Structures are given as C-alpha cells and as structure tokens.
Amino acid sequence: MNHWYSVLFSSLRIENWDQEYTVFQPASGKTHFLNAMGLQILVLLDQAPLTLDTICMKLAESFSMQANTHFRQQIAVTLQRYEALGLIARTWKTPL
C-alpha cells in the first residue's frame, strides 16, 4: 500500500498571509504558495506516513467537507505535485 510522508518538514520556512502560506524550501531554494488545505497536507504528513484515503478523510474532517471522488482526485494530484517539488515522498508498504 502506498504511503506518503513529509520530506524535511522542519527545514521549511512557513509564513502565514491571511490563510495563504508561503513555504520556502531551503533544499531547492524555491518558494511555494499554498492555501490552508495545502499546508495541512504537509502538516499531516509530517506527523506520520499516510495513505491517500487517510489523508482525504482527515482533510474532510478538518475542513468540514465531503470526501467524494472528485475531492480524492484533487488530493491525489496535489500529492503528485508535492512529490515532484520534493516536499513529500512515497513509500510502498506491504500489509503485515
């Protein structure tokens, strides 16, 4: 099963601009612009590696949303983008 996790979250420099966030990533020298949900994904993945389904469930709870198929697809795209930026990575874990 695929799990996502944060890469060097503690090194990120995060500034809040009225529920919009700038995230400076020293490893790449790049600054990323995230909304509250985008930042919450990074925070969740810093706490523990999570599956896509678990991420969606936690986000839906935090933002009082319905975790439907479209929502799941949007989060999957976001995770892939974050992985390409080097903010997160994934690991394949086999069930015990």
For helices 52-62 and 69-85, angle between their N-to-C axes, nearest 10 degrees: 110
* Overall pTM surpassing 0.85 (yes/no): yes
Query: How many domains does the chain contain in total?
Result: 1
Range of the domain at 72: 2-92
What is the per-residue pLDDT for 93?
Answer: 65
Q: Which of 90, 86, 60 shows the shortest CA–CA distance to 75?
A: 60
DSSP string computed for 33-96: EEEHHHHHHHHHHHHS-B-HHHHHHHHHHHTT----HHHHHHHHHHHHHHHHHTSEEEEE----
CATH classification at residue 51 = 3.90.930.60
Helix (H, G, I), strand (E, B) or coil at 32: strand
Q: pLDDT tens per residue, the chain (96 residues)?
A: 789 999 999 999 999 998 899 999 999 999 999 999 999 999 999 999 999 999 999 999 999 988 889 999 999 999 999 999 999 999 876 555
